[in-house]
Amino acid sequence: MAPWPRSAATGRGGGGQRRPLAESAPRSRLTSAVRLPLHLALLLGLAACAVGPRLPAAADLASRRCVPWVPPAVPLELVVLGSGGPRSFGRASSAYAVLVDGVPRVLIDAGPGAAVRWGALRLDFERLDLYLLTHLHIDHAGDLPGVVKSRDLSFSEPLQFRLFGPSGGGDYPSTTAFVAELLGEAGAFRYLRGFRNELRLEVTDVPTERASPPRVLLEEGDLRVLAVTVDHDDVPALAFRVEAHGQAVVVSGDLGSTDDNLVALARGAEVLVYDATVLDPPSASPLLYRLHTAPARIGEVAARAGVKALVLSHLTPSVEGAPEDVLASIAASYRGPVRFAEDCLRVPALP
């Protein structure tokens, strides 16, 4: 199986503001392909077998620019704002925007660097009022105040922020308590409540019982959001599914995948973003396999769920160093297109 080549989906940039690509921006190898219908461009990219699975080094990532670029609007699109794991090595941490008809509607996770990538892409904040947190580790939620402030400074009107995240347990507060500690009346960043606009915070704690089936969190016109509990050792954690126009993107968050909860949530999705932090055993400690999914298991889950495309994210230096091994292990079970995420990657949810 060939990897999902970079030339198939590495169009840089953002939607929202309709600005042309700056003349000084670097030309992509996809310059001619983006003029084609997206279905054809994707097929051409998937056929480009000469593009190998080598991941760029951290130095290359650090020098890469995310430039504003407005592709043709599609019904549902995923934009990777941050593709890295908990370590700082050239990637922003986990954060994903979901665009409906070319308009950013949902933000899933807000790891460090999310606000920077959003600004670099010049994505529009106007209708972004739905925030989904898979869990409350810093590399998934640490930039939430920065995103809130960036949106606050973009408008002169009261702003609604609807947030969904896991209920608490152990060392982890509920999402309601977490947001209150940051942005509440006595929170660390309470000044934001009246810094420019009135901030209307509506926070919902999602139960995290492991035996619960996927639950619907929101239905609003054609937009539908579901969640399921996932196994991230002792960390209360969720995976999310966003649907619109009969298509779906799923973000796994961090998980060990020792159960089939993600299979149930991701069934038939056009795009599944999967936590790819570790190599197959025995490359990591037993603790890490309770927290993250080995490549062989990623392939099994993706195949059983019948997803149409797989994006590997939350990457680490160990995975960057052995991409061929990761892809070969996944290919033992899953035969669909696979690619490694990178910051500012855009993935249309093509039927």
Q: Provide the CA 262 distance to its chain's centre, in angstroms.
A: 15
Strand (E) or helix (H) holding 88 = none
* CB-based burial label for 187 (10 Å; 0-12, 13-18, 19+): middle
pLDDT band at 56 (very low <50, low <70, confident <90, very high): low
Q: What is the mean pLDDT of residues 170-181?
A: 97
CA 176, 181, 182, 185 torsion: positive or negative? Answer: positive
Return mean pLDDT, the chain.
85
Q: What is the mean pLDDT of residues 111-117?
A: 96
What are 317-328's pLDDT values in tens digits? 999 999 999 999
- Report the pLDDT value the prediction gives residue 20, as an integer from 0 to 100: 28
Give yes or no for a contact between 154 and 119, defined as CB atoms under 8 angstroms apart. no
Report if residue 157 sits inside a domain: no
206 pairs with which residues across the strands? 166
- Report percent pLDDT > 70 for the chain: 81
Report if residue 150 sits inside a domain: no
Per-residue pLDDT at 263 exceeds 90: yes
Q: What is the mean pLDDT of residues 66-95?
A: 91
Per-residue pLDDT at 28 exceeds 60: no
- Report the pLDDT value the prediction gives residue 113, as an integer from 0 to 100: 96
Domain that holds residue 330: 6-20+27-143+205-348
Q: What is the mean pLDDT of residues 35-62?
A: 43
Report if residue 178 sits inside a domain: no
Q: What is the mean pLDDT of residues 329-345?
A: 97
Per-residue pLDDT at 70 exceeds 90: no
Report if residue 91 sits inside a domain: yes
Domain count, the chain: 1
pLDDT band at 225 (very low <50, low <70, confident <90, very high): very high
Report if residue 164 sits inside a domain: no
Q: Which of 307, 317, 310 is nearest to 340 (CA)?
A: 310
- Report the pLDDT value the prediction gives residue 194, as an integer from 0 to 100: 87
Per-residue pLDDT at 184 exceeds 80: yes
Give yes or no for a contact between 147 and 161, defined as CB atoms under 8 angstroms apart. no
- Report the pLDDT value the prediction gives residue 57, as an integer from 0 to 100: 60
Q: Which of these ranges, 6-20, 43-57, 261-275, has the smallest mean pLDDT?
A: 6-20
Q: What is the mean pLDDT of residues 15-28?
A: 30
Give the side-chain half-sphere CA count within 13 A for 219: 2
Q: What is the mean pLDDT of residues 236-250?
A: 98
Report if residue 174 sits inside a domain: no
- Report percent pLDDT > 90 for the chain: 73
- Report the pLDDT value the prediction gives residue 71, as an integer from 0 to 100: 79
What are 84-107's pLDDT values in tens digits? 988 888 899 999 999 999 999 999
Per-residue pLDDT at 217 exceeds 50: yes
Q: Which of these ranges, 50-59, 156-165, 221-230, 276-285, has the smallest mean pLDDT?
A: 50-59
Give the side-chain half-sphere CA count within 13 A for 81: 33
Q: Which of these ranges, 31-40, 136-145, 198-207, has the smallest mean pLDDT?
A: 31-40
Report if residue 16 sits inside a domain: yes
DSSP H helices, the chain, are 6-9, 38-46, 58-63, 114-121, 138-141, 144-152, 175-183, 261-266, 286-291, 295-305, 317-320, 323-331
Q: Which of 141, 122, 117 is nearest to 131 (CA)?
A: 141
Token code pair at residue 104 = 């950013």
* Residues sharing a CB contact under 8 Å with residue 183, sequence separation 6 or more, in sequence order: 145, 148, 189, 190, 192, 193, 199, 201
* Residues sharing a CB contact under 8 Å with residue 33, sequence separation 6 or more, in sequence order: 7, 41, 44, 45
Q: Which of these ranges, 55-59, 80-84, 159-163, has the smallest mean pLDDT?
A: 55-59
Per-residue pLDDT at 330 exceeds 80: yes
Task: In whole angstroms, give the CA distance from residue 99 to residue 104.
Answer: 4
Report if residue 254 sits inside a domain: yes
- Report the pLDDT value the prediction gives residue 227, as an integer from 0 to 100: 98
- Find the CATH number of the domain harbouring 267: 3.60.15.10
